[in-house]
Structure 1
């Protein structure tokens, strides 16, 4: 009887599976405590198999941050892409970000861990770049809202962007602490409603929903 050999997984797919394994592990444990041995055990592989695709742990963490950045920004783009109203675009981005975190609770743990770390690793530089890109995109939407008359003419764009991101981070941290990601999904629309009332014009001209 001929034995069928296990299907060989392409290198890129193996790298993606490794990244997903790290995010999965980070959802229930401190990212600093995740070792390559733990990753290999989670994937039912040897450490040697991991290192055939990544030269070291820093390279794995960099790949994880790259995955988070690409997938989060893609989720925001899909949510806001066809919306004309800047205010409604902001709400779509807010809820999409919350949904992404609820689906991948390990992602914010990895992100916060890198941003708080003292080492200037490639992963930390990627995380900082993503946050900068996110803030720039948000400032553009807020500026469009002021120009259209949907948002207050005296609105501080920088402060509004900071508060938007900070509000999401607050919801995320509370959910991670409580371990209740579903509550974050439920709370997000009401929390954004309070934020929106602080930035919108007294008599919005368009896109009221």
Structure 2
């Protein structure tokens, strides 16, 4: 296999990231069950021998892919503060976008081969990511409820499950409905936000007193 000089001069850190990204693409196409060093090497454009100059074994490559997933998904969490439902919307959009653009992430989370292909540290890191995501959604909804933003009659626990279900369906199912123009995640979020906030509440407008109440009554001498 011919390797261009430009590619071979890449710094080791960049090369490791390239390999991790290639591993995610291979996982998306073939799954962990048929995850091979040769397939990754072809994706990166190096020989399989060169691949193992950066990683001691295939298990280490899977761990690097998990670390890359961790890096990508941690970037989807917005900073604290502000309206909790706006914060939740930012997270929802970012998370769906990242996972849809890299199908290997969803397949890695769902793989039954994960415990055999990855070291225990990698399995634990994915479990932590999953739990952190669920906790973030729950915390945003609970904060909205405590602030009086959540719609009347909508319980925080049920609302969090609805959001997580939509996120799972959009990001992890891999299915694109017929006729989807690409804005489905945005439309789904707008629907969710209407459900979470409820109908717009009318503003309280101070009533003006009748004019007669505001006028002074003149005495007969003043008439």
- TM-score range with shorter-chain normalisation? 0.7 to 0.9
Tell me, in whole angstroms, the C-alpha distance in 2 between the residues paired with 1:57 and 1:158: 41
Deviation, structure 1 residue 38: 0.8
Alignment gaps of 5+ in structure 1: none
Q: Which residue of 1 aligns with 2:206?
A: none
Aligned length: 196
Q: Which residue of 2 aligns with 1:59?
A: 60
Tell me, in whole angstroms, the C-alpha distance in 2 between the residues paired with 1:103 and 1:58: 24
Which deviates further from its counterpart, 88-97 or 28-37? 28-37
Measured against aligned partners, the alpha-carbon deviations of 1:128-156 in whole angstroms (never above 9, x if no partner) come to 01011112222222222112211146654
Could you tell me which of 181, 191, 195 is aligned with 1:194? 191
Which residues in structure 2 correspond to 1:27-38 (within 5 Å)?
A: 27-38=28-39
Relative to 1, partners in 2 of residues 1:63 and 1:118: Cα closer, same or farther, differing over 3 Å? closer
Q: Which residue of 1 aligns with 2:84?
A: 86
Q: Which residue of 2 aligns with 1:139?
A: 138
Relative to 1, partners in 2 of residues 1:204 and 1:54: Cα closer, same or farther, differing over 3 Å? farther
Deviation, structure 1 residue 88: 1.6
Q: Is the 8 A contact 2:95 2:171 kept in 1?
A: no
Q: Which residue of 1 aligns with 2:156?
A: 157
Q: Is the 8 A contact 2:24 2:104 kept in 1?
A: yes
Tell me, in whole angstroms, the C-alpha distance in 2 between the residues paired with 1:183 and 1:73: 28
Deviation, structure 1 residue 173: 4.2
Alignment gaps of 5+ in structure 2: 203-223
Q: Quick check: which has more Rg, 1 or 2? A: 2
Structure 1 or 2: larger helix share?
1
Which residues in structure 2 correspond to 1:8-157 (within 5 Å)?
A: 8-77=9-78, 81=79, 84-113=82-111, 117=114, 119=116, 121-152=120-151, 155-157=154-156
TM-score, normalization: structure 1? 0.77
**Aligned Cα root-mean-square deviation (Å):** 3.1
Deviation, structure 1 residue 163: 2.9
Structure with the bigger RCO (C-alpha within 8 Å, sep 6+) is 1
Relative to 1, partners in 2 of residues 1:32 and 1:204: Cα closer, same or farther, differing over 3 Å? farther
Q: Is the 8 A contact 1:58 1:123 kept in 2?
A: no
Deviation, structure 1 residue 25: 2.6
Deviation, structure 1 residue 178: 4.7
Measured against aligned partners, the alpha-carbon deviations of 1:21-72 in whole angstroms (never above 9, x if no partner) come to 1122334333322211111122222222212222222221111111112212
